[in-house]
């Protein structure tokens, strides 16, 4: 059974939206190099649609006062993360092999140093999904 992991990523304060995206994409390349054949089957990234404004709107979050999300339902504070990623592994063994590589001391040090450049690690959250049910057309 496949394993799916979600990552909610927040850009480092003061970093532009474009710089965050550019660095995140380079970070994925780093992870791919470090993990080789144990890279996930897929690593899909989705970036929150944001606008840049001159004046904070009512209800704007402190983090994104001048870069509000395009919210359809909910509040700005519900969408403070800047991207979420979905990693899919063939099975638990594949997930564990990936983990072993990213947590190996040398790789972990490279990853942490790179993350310091663009992520707000105090807000980073990662969760493993349970049942995934998909409905298609």
Measured CA to CA in angstroms, residue 110 lies from 54, 82, 99, 117 at distances of: 37, 22, 14, 11
Using alpha carbons, select from 57, 81, 53 the residue that is nearest to residue 67.
53
Q: What is the CATH number of the domain that holds 19?
A: 3.30.70.100
Over residues 16-50, the pLDDT tens digits come to: 999 999 999 999 999 999 999 999 999 999 999 99
For the entire predicted model, the pTM comes to 0.89
d(CA 104, CA 120): 22
- Containing domain of residue 111, as a range? 3-47+81-128
Say if residues 20 and 101 touch (Cβ distance below 8 Å).
Answer: no
In the chain, how many domains are there?
A: 1
- Check pLDDT > 90 for residue 133: no
- Tell me the pLDDT tens digit for each residue of 66-82: 999 999 999 888 999 99
Confidence tier at 59 by pLDDT (50, 70, 90): confident
In a domain, 7, yes or no: yes
Residue 24 lies in a domain: yes
Distances in Å between the Cα of 23 and the Cα atoms of 16, 27, 82, 115 are 11, 6, 13, 9
Q: Identify whether 69 is part of a domain.
A: no
The tally of CA atoms less than 13 A away on the side-chain side of residue 75 is 7
- The predicted pLDDT at position 56 comes to 86
Q: pLDDT tens digits for 83-116?
A: 999 999 999 999 999 999 999 999 999 999 999 9
């Amino acid at each position: 059974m496949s394993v799916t992991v979600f990552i909610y990523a927040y850009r480092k304060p003061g970093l532009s939206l474009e710089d965050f995206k550019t660095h995140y994409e380079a970070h994925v390349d780093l992870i791919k190099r470090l993990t080789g054949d144990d890279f996930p089957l897929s690593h899909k990234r989705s970036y929150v649609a944001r606008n840049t404004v001159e004046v904070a709107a009512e209800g704007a979050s402190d983090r994104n006062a001048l870069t509000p999300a395009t919210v359809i339902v909910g509040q700005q504070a519900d969408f403070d993360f800047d991207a979420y990623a979905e990693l899919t592994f063939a099975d638990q063994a594949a997930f564990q092999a990936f983990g072993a590589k990213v947590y190996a001391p040398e790789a972990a040090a490279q990853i942490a140093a790179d993350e310091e450049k663009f992520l707000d690690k105090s807000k980073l959250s990662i969760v493993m999904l349970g049942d995934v049910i998909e409905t298609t057309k």
